[in-house]
Amino acid sequence: MIKARLLIQTIYISILFLCSTTALAVQGIDGKTHIESQNVETTSIQRYRGFFTPISPVNNLTTEQLKRIALGQTLFEDVNLSHNNKMSCATCHITAKGYADGKSFSQENKGVNKEYNTPSIQYSIYNQYLTWLGAFSTLQEHLDFLITNSTLMNRDWDDLTNQLKTNREYKHLFEQAGYKRISRLSISNAIIAYEASLAIPSRFDFFLLGDVTQLTSQEIKGLDVFITSGCISCHQGTNLGGNLRQKFGVMKDYFPNKISKNRDLGYFNITKNIDDMHLFRVPSLRNVTKTGPYFHDASAKTLEKAIEIMFSYQLGIKASQEDILSIKSFLESLEPVQ
Ligand code: HEC
Ligand code: HEC
């Protein structure tokens, strides 16, 4: 199993390398110089689009859709959704912190630290797998877990639904948003509509959509290093991640201390299959400049450190400071544009 997976991975990386080498030859950036952003031709943008699918801006939402999003935000920020009336989704997913919370570990409702670092949810709608282990594949499935889990909202859906039904304000908001009744489905639909509305384009998306002036030459250099070094083999697609589970520590053991924590066993925790040892969902790199500390265990305090660790443990490369900084610049172009 693991051999087959590694083989497929190797073939896949080789194909990507071949593609990216061709892309570079055509662009004429063979290490000697780096191109000025205004010189990037549309043809080379087409080549980048072979690796990434951009997010397009969404305009002309209907009034009903806007009301659903607003209702979703109200629910997301309402502490009364939790059993102890103290915790809302926004307690840990804070707008100003890129919808993470900037802490190593957030506190659960009983004051205990969570096992995993809190990730950003801004682009979760584009993740094929959710959570560090990739334990869920839809926001609905995951929301059911969050509402009912005893360490979080600790609610019963019926109980929550009945509570909202007796609240005149909510009755009005649900009606205005076009929902016939307050139910598990309409509550979830509104929260998920809000989450989806957060996934707005970045400068990198506008670049991929054809506006070559969006990225500086340093950012394009970082993008090229990201592709040619092989980061792209795992951080790919619309979210530059979110669609694969991969071992953390491909080239060397990231958890050499054998009494490492249970959480470090990765997807093995769910399947108990030895092949899944240390497998984690490849996280999205959108918005990543705002969501430190990094990794499931918050073991990298800065983005530079996280990039250096990825080079070393995932690719077996001792990275130059220049490459680390250019990739960091590229990642800055993934910040959402208001
Ligand atoms: C106490 C802090 C806390 C609260 C409250 C909280 N979350 Fe989270 N959230 C986390 C942590 C930690 C994770 C990662 C869990 C894991 O990987 O197992 C997470 C993961 C997620 C993810 C998956 C992100 C991804 O792309 O993989 C979503 C979506 C999410 N939360 C939404 C919500 C919603 C909606 C609420 C409110 C109902 C909520 N969260 C409440 C801490 C919190
Ligand atoms: C073999 C697959 C693979 C490759 C190659 C890879 N990554 Fe990762 N990356 C992962 C996985 C898996 C994680 C999650 C690790 C964890 O915390 O358990 C991750 C996490 C990260 C994070 C932290 C994200 C966060 O929110 O905490 C950053 C930043 C990152 N990678 C950047 C890169 C860069 C830059 C490269 C190329 C130099 C790269 N990665 C190469 C699989 C990979």
- As a whole number, mean pLDDT of residues 278-292 equals 97
298 plus 323 within the same structural domain = yes
Q: How confident is the model at residue 44 (pLDDT cuts 50, 70, 90)?
A: confident
247 plus 316 within the same structural domain = yes
**Residues with C-beta less than 6 Å from any ligand 1 atom:** 87, 89, 91-93, 106, 108, 114, 116, 118-119, 121, 124, 127, 130-132, 139, 142-143, 146, 152-153, 191
Which structural domain, as residue segments, surrounds residue 95? Answer: 63-197
Residue with CA closest to ligand 2 atom 43: 234
What does the pLDDT read at residue 41?
63
Q: How confident is the model at residue 29 (pLDDT cuts 50, 70, 90)?
A: very low
The pLDDT of residue 259 is above 90 = no
Residue 214 lies in a domain: yes
Atom of ligand 1 nearest to the CA of 109: 1
How many percent of the chain have pLDDT more than 90?
A: 83
Residue 80 lies in a domain: yes
225 plus 275 within the same structural domain = yes
**Residues with C-beta less than 6 Å from any ligand 2 atom:** 229-231, 233-235, 246, 248, 250, 280, 282-283, 285, 288, 291, 294-296, 306-307, 310-311, 314-315, 327
Residue 337 lies in a domain: no
The rounded Å distance from CA 282 to ligand 2 centre is: 6
Residue 158 lies in a domain: yes
84 plus 175 within the same structural domain = yes
Q: Measured between alpha carbons, how far is residue 99 from residues 93, 94, 286 in Å?
A: 4, 4, 12
What does the pLDDT read at residue 258?
58
- As a whole number, mean pLDDT of residues 202-209 equals 98
192 plus 207 within the same structural domain = no
Number of domains in the chain: 2
- As a whole number, mean pLDDT of residues 244-273 equals 91
pLDDT, one tens digit per residue, over 116-166 is 999 999 999 999 999 999 999 999 999 999 999 999 999 999 999 999 999
- As a whole number, mean pLDDT of residues 15-40 equals 38
Widest CA span in the chain? 68
The CATH number linked to 68 is 1.10.760.10
